[in-house]
Amino acid sequence: MRSVLVTGGNGGLGLGIGRYFLEQDPECRVWLGVRNNRAAAESLVSEYPDRCTCLTLEVTDLEAWKSAIEQIVASDGQLDVLVNNAGMHRDGLLAAMEAETWHDVISANLDSVFFGCKAVILQMMRQRSGRIVNIGSLSSIMPPLGQTNYAAAKAGVVALTRTLAKEVARSGITVNAVLPGYIETEALSGMDEEARKKAKSGIPMRRFGKVTEVAAAVYFLAAGEASYITGSSLKIDGGIF
Report the pLDDT value the prediction gives residue 1, as an integer from 0 to 100.
Answer: 86
pLDDT (0 to 100) of residue 241: 82
Q: In angstroms, rounded to a whole number, what is the distance separating the alpha carbons of residues 1 and 19?
A: 16
pLDDT at residue 196 in the model: 85
The domain defined by 2-235 folds into Rossmann fold (3.40.50)
Active site residue 20: no
Specify the DSSP element, H or E, that contains 119.
Answer: helix 112-127
Average pLDDT over residues 36-64: 94
Domain boundaries, the chain: 2-235
Integer Cα distance of 136 and 134 in angstroms: 6
The catalytic residue among 20, 150, 182, 219 is 150
C-beta separation of 58 from 31 below 8 A: no
Q: For 16-28, write each residue's pLDDT tens digit.
A: 999 999 999 999 9
Report which of 35, 27, 47, 30 is spatially closest to residue 11, judged by C-alpha positions.
35
Share of the chain above pLDDT 90, in %: 83
The answer to whether residues 208 and 183 touch, using CB atoms and an 8 Å cutoff, is yes
Give the model confidence (pLDDT) of 153-204 as tens digits. 999 999 999 999 999 999 999 999 999 988 888 777 777 788 888 888 888 9
Does the pLDDT value for residue 111 go beyond 80? yes
Residue 184: exposure state from Cβ atoms within 10 A (0-12, 13-18, ≥19) = middle
Residue 201's contacts (CB-CB under 8 Å, 6 or more residues apart) are: none
Neighbours of 5 (CB within 10 A): 29
Question: Nearest 5°: CA angle at 209, between 136 and 93?
Answer: 50
User: Can you give the pTM of this predicted structure?
Assistant: 0.95
Phi, psi dihedral angles at 232 (to 5 degrees): -95, 155
Maximum Cα–Cα distance across the chain = 52
Over range 96-106, report the average pLDDT. 97
